Amino acid sequence: MTIEFFNVLFIINTILIDILAVVFFNQGLHMILSFVLPPLKYKDTDINKTYGFLIAARNEKDNIVNIVESIKAQNYDKDKIKIFVVADNCKDNTAELARNAGAIVFERFNLQEIGKSYALEYAFEEIYKDENNNDIDAFFIFDADNILDNDYTKEMNKAFVSGKEIITSCRLSKNFSDSWLAGVSSFMFFREDRQIHNNRSRLNIGTYVSGTGYLISARLIKEFKYWPFHTMTEDIELSAYVASRGIKIAYCSKAKFYDEQPISLKQFWIQRMRWCKGTHQVFFKEGGHLFLGFFKKQPLSAWGMFVHTIPLPAISFMWFCIYLIMGFVYFLIAKVPFDVYWTECLKQCISNFIYPVFIGEIAAIVLVIECWKWIDAKWYKKILYAILFPFGMMLFLPITVCALFKRKIKWKPTNNIK
């Protein structure tokens, strides 16, 4: 009986490992392809579309003027740019500063519906109350702590004119050197840019948007009835929604902007907890649509988002703990020598943790080579933070498990967390 029981445990564990290997095989494939697939280039154009820049800001008095000024400094027809700021439940003078800097400001006060998604919904409702804004062809979504490269709009305009309706851009780091966690977070977005977004664009597979720095056409905004995406990760919900319905998200590597990364463990934990909880919400809301989307006209886009949202890391981590505990009980009942159990534990640790760390280290080395010129830091920090990259990513395991079981997670602006 005990032998049969352990065999069942072993079979379940083997099946789960095999599933993980199949599901995440594309991660290694992306790493290899990033060496051979150059960035996608969009043709120059004389057509200048009209854009609305929408910034959701909550208590951002230290940042709001900088992003407004960086938008105003774009190498693009100034008459084709409109800047909107939604000052969301602000207790400081964010609205006043944004208005003085030249933005059109909407002030929102609603403590029942907290979060960026509700601020975006309110902003679009206010924007379209003014008929003069009907000439806007597309909107850029940004956070208040972002800074844009001067050619950002020009490069994104090329991609939009080519027919792309949702486009994400190249996200670089403002504060790579501030801490090892800021470096790890930066590498995460370098990996998205170089090894995911770029590859998917080159292979004509839809990618996803990630928080900030993306364009969405006014046509789609109106089709969606402004902003119906209200999970804790409205960006991933948008990505899953369009992927399951055959709309591909494009990537523009030449459109660069700079984002601020968390520097403390508390900031990192709270931000990633929100991300993980939101991603789980998206899976339970859109997972069925994504699975069915695999059998429709854009199967690879739907499959990519299905893998992105499924809580397999949490499930596999919990199962691994259960496997070790139940295995220990079996060995006690069967009176198997402890060294046999210890050997089995070591084997499972290697297969579940050591191999991913090893692969993560290879990915980080590849990223350092590919993104060396993007990183504003001393050479030794580039190398050190690359070494620490997979260990920082391992923090996602306890975070994603906590997020799976924690019922309510309050939205908090990361820059206000000490």
* Six-digit token string for 187: 């590498």
Q: What is the pLDDT of residue 418?
A: 46
Q: What is the pLDDT of residue 37?
A: 83
- Give the global pTM: 0.89
Tallying the residues shown for the chain, one arrives at: 418
Q: What is the pLDDT of residue 394?
A: 84
Q: 3-state DSSP call for residue 76?
A: coil
Locus of tokens 């933070």: 385
* Six-digit token string for 374: 């993007």
| HEC letters along 349-410 | HHHHHHHHHHHHHHHHHHHHHHHHHHCCCCHHHHHHHHHHHHHHHHCHHHHHHHHHHCCCCC
Q: Is the dihedral of CA 206, 212, 216, 222 positive or negative?
A: positive
- Catalogue the long-range contacts made by 279-282 (C-beta closer than 8 Å, 24 or more residues apart): 279/233, 279/236, 279/308, 279/309, 279/311, 280/309, 280/311, 280/314, 280/400, 280/403, 280/404, 281/231, 281/232, 281/233, 281/237, 282/231, 282/233, 282/236, 282/237, 282/240, 282/309
Delineate the domains of the chain, giving CATH numbers in brackets.
1-39+48-418 (3.90.550.10)
Locus of tokens 């463990």: 265
* Six-digit token string for 255: 């459109």
Per-residue pLDDT 10s for the chain (418 aa) are 455 666 677 777 777 777 766 666 667 777 778 777 888 899 999 999 999 999 999 999 999 999 999 999 999 999 999 999 999 999 999 999 999 999 999 999 988 888 899 999 999 999 999 999 999 999 999 999 999 999 999 999 999 999 999 999 999 999 999 999 999 999 999 989 988 999 998 888 899 999 899 999 999 999 999 999 999 999 999 999 999 988 999 999 999 999 999 999 999 999 989 999 999 999 999 999 898 888 877 788 888 898 888 887 787 778 778 877 877 777 777 776 777 777 777 777 776 677 777 778 888 888 898 889 889 899 999 999 999 998 888 888 888 888 888 777 766 665 544 4
Q: What is the pLDDT of residue 337?
A: 75
Residue type, 326: M
Q: 3-state DSSP call for residue 398?
A: helix
Closest by CA position to 387, among listed 179, 191, 183: 183
Q: Which residues contact 118 (CB under 8 A, 6 or more apart)?
A: 88, 108, 110, 230
Closest by CA position to 246, among listed 165, 324, 177: 165
Cα dihedral angle (150, 152, 157, 158), rounded to 10 degrees? 100
Q: What is the pLDDT of residue 84?
A: 98
Residue type, 250: A
Going across the sheet that includes 147-148, the strands are 104-108, 81-88, 51-57, 138-143, 214-217, 166-173, 250-259, 147-148
Q: Give tens-digit pLDDT for 93-117.
A: 999 999 999 999 999 998 888 889 9
130/140 Cα distance (integer angstroms): 18
133/84 Cα distance (integer angstroms): 11
- Catalogue the long-range contacts made by 325-331 (C-beta closer than 8 Å, 24 or more residues apart): 326/9, 327/6, 327/9, 330/2, 330/5, 330/6, 330/9
Phi then psi dihedrals of residue 30, to 5 deg: -60, -40
Q: What is the pLDDT of residue 328?
A: 76
* 50 DSSP assignment: -
Closest by CA position to 230, among listed 218, 219, 241, 243: 241
245/226 Cα distance (integer angstroms): 17
Q: How many helices (H) and strands (E) does the chain have?
A: 17, 8
* 112 DSSP assignment: S
- 225 backbone φψ class: left, alpha, beta (φ>0; ψ -120 to 50): left
Angle at 266 between CA 321 and CA 366, to 5 degrees: 70
Q: Which residues contact 408 (CB under 8 A, 6 or more apart)?
A: none
Q: What is the pLDDT of residue 303?
A: 84
